[in-house]
Amino acid sequence: MSELSKSPKPIPIIAPRAAFEELKAETEAAVLRVLASGDYILGAETAAFEKESAEYLGATHSIGVSSGTEALLVALQELDVGPGDEVIVPNFTFIATATVVARLGARPVFVDIEAETYQMSVEAFARAITPRTRAVIPVHLYGHPGPIESYLCVAQSAPQPIAVIEDAAQAIGTVCTVSGQRVKAGAAGVWGCFSFYPTKNLPACGEAGLMVTSSAAHAERARQLRAHGMDAPYRHKLLGGNARLDAIQSAILRVRLRKLEEWNSKRRAHAAIYDRLFTESGILTQREGLRLPPRSRDGEVANYHQYTIRAPGRDALKAHLQERGISSGVYYPIPVSMQPVFASLGARPGDFPAAEAASREVLSLPVHQHLEPGDVERIASEVVAFYLR
Ligand SMILES: Cc1ncc(COP(=O)(O)O)c(C=O)c1O
């Protein structure tokens, strides 16, 4: 056997082409339908996707936009957030959660996460509220259900109105609980914002995003803001931009939305195998600090956008896996407050101990729905081998 044929099959952490292969005929038909229609921007396909995604999410109004970042930006614009305002954001998230705030001239106020769950700390959020706070953007990080009911309670008990904008970019299909009711992530806040970046659980074949709300008034303004603030043909009432969703992406997303529950179930099944194998191996008790992803509370369901372990010696583990053909990911290696772009806000090392520790130790293992039989077992056995060596 040659060296090449002996090397194990690579396991990628993402597989964007696989969704196309699985649904090739339907996807091609959908794309061709749009090409033949001549209706390329928003149009009937986007209207249909908005209706179907609203039904899926249990939201009253659903607005297709050109990315998850634009969803967050339009939500803040719609709420008139601007200079002099503060918006509270977790310090451990993708950069867009915070940059949208600063791009509008408002100040992102970073708060630490819960060490165990990686979600924004409820207490730290409450402590960070000032008379200038206009909104908070909790993130359902890794697709785990954040404590949205607690965030809503804190926001509602503040002296001034504080809008809760859920960053559900990673959390389509995740289930939270509010007042004992099961609510899809994104459907509980004033706005819920989603990303369909090609590596997300509901992937587009390009850029795409969505915003949902239960308020007709908010929805109307957001629809105007996504299209140059227009309220009548070539009459521009609001200072909008171009955040419109392409019809081709909407058509592809409609095909894939029908598969989402099945795909999320596969991710959960992969996560359950990891949990079992790591527990049975004994490494969790032998290696201090090594932890499984957080458990969901009763009634809540994670979509496992990522399967993220707390991994002492993270970089060495990542290299160990890579040498054996297994890709893994670090989301995120730098807390948002320590990013160069936010240097002027003056955060110092030690200000956010939980976020800083997480950024040194989190590692996401492949969990997507297109892993092949035996992949999870192979990855788990390499992680176990690393910790037992
Ligand atoms: C938590 C979070 N917020 C916002 C975004 C931005 O979404 P997009 O890449 O579609 O602009 C992402 C996606 O990467 C994300 O993971």
Q: Which helix (H) or strand (E) holds 164?
A: strand 163-167
The reply to whether ligand 1 has any atom less than 6 angstroms from the CB of 71 is no
HEC assignment per residue over 314-377: HHHHHHHHHHCCECCECCCCCCHHHCHHHHHHCCCCCCCHHHHHHHHHEEEECCCCCCCCCHHH
Eight-class DSSP state of 12: -
Distance 165 CA to ligand 1 centre (A): 14
Q: Which atom of ligand 1 is nearest to the CA of 209?
A: 10
> Which is the closest atom of ligand 1 to the Cα of 72?
4
209 CB near ligand 1 (under 6 Å) = yes
- CA-96 nearest atom, ligand 1: 4
Ligand 1 center–CA 68 separation, angstroms: 5
**How high is the pLDDT of residue 1?**
44
**Could you identify the residue written with the tokens 């297709």?**
64
Is the shortest distance between the CB of 142 and ligand 1 below 6 Å? no
CA of 253 to the centre of ligand 1 (A): 17
Q: Is 66 in the pocket of ligand 1 (CB under 6 A)?
A: no
Instruction: Report residue 203 as tokens.
Output: 């992937």
**Amino acid letter for position 135:** A
Return averaged pLDDT per consecutive 10 residues of the chain, 389 residues in all.
Answer: 66 96 98 98 98 98 98 98 98 98 98 98 98 98 98 98 98 97 98 98 98 98 98 97 98 98 98 98 96 94 98 98 98 98 96 98 98 98 97
User: 75 CA to middle of ligand 1, Å?
Assistant: 14
Measured from the Cα of 170, ligand 1's closest atom is 16
Euclidean distance between CA atoms 195 and 213, whole angstroms: 15
pTM over 0.85: yes
- With a 6 Å cutoff on the Cβ, whether 93 touches ligand 1 is yes
Ligand 1 and 119: CB distance under 6 A: no
Tell me if 97 CB under 6 Å of ligand 1: yes
Residues 366, 371, 375, 376, Cα dihedral to 10° = 50
Question: Is 67 close to ligand 1, i.e. is its CB under 6 Å away?
Answer: yes
CA 343/CA 346 separation, integer angstroms: 6
Atom of ligand 1 nearest to the CA of 139: 1
Residue 194 · residue 68 · CB < 8 Å: yes
- Ligand 1 mutation pick, 94, 144, 165, 306, max ligand atoms within 8 A of CB: 94
Kindly state if the Cβ of 174 falls inside 6 Å of ligand 1. no
50 CB within 6 A, ligand 1: no
Residue nearest atom 7 in ligand 1 by C-alpha distance: 68
Taking the C-alpha atoms of residue 201 and residue 213, their distance in angstroms, rounded to an integer, is: 21
Q: Please, what are the domains in the chain?
A: 18-257 (3.40.640.10), 260-388 (3.90.1150.10)
Is the CB of 317 inside a 6 Å radius of any atom of ligand 1? no
Report how far apart, in Å, the C-alpha atoms of 293 and of each of 265, 330, 366, 376 are. Answer: 17, 14, 13, 15
Closest residue to atom 8 of ligand 1, CA basis: 68
Q: Is the CB of 99 under 6 A from ligand 1?
A: no
Rounded to the nearest angstrom, the distance between the alpha carbon of 57 and the centre of ligand 1 is 18
Please give the distance, rounded to the nearest whole angstrom, from the Cα atom of residue 37 to the centre of ligand 1. 30
Q: Is 331 in the pocket of ligand 1 (CB under 6 A)?
A: no
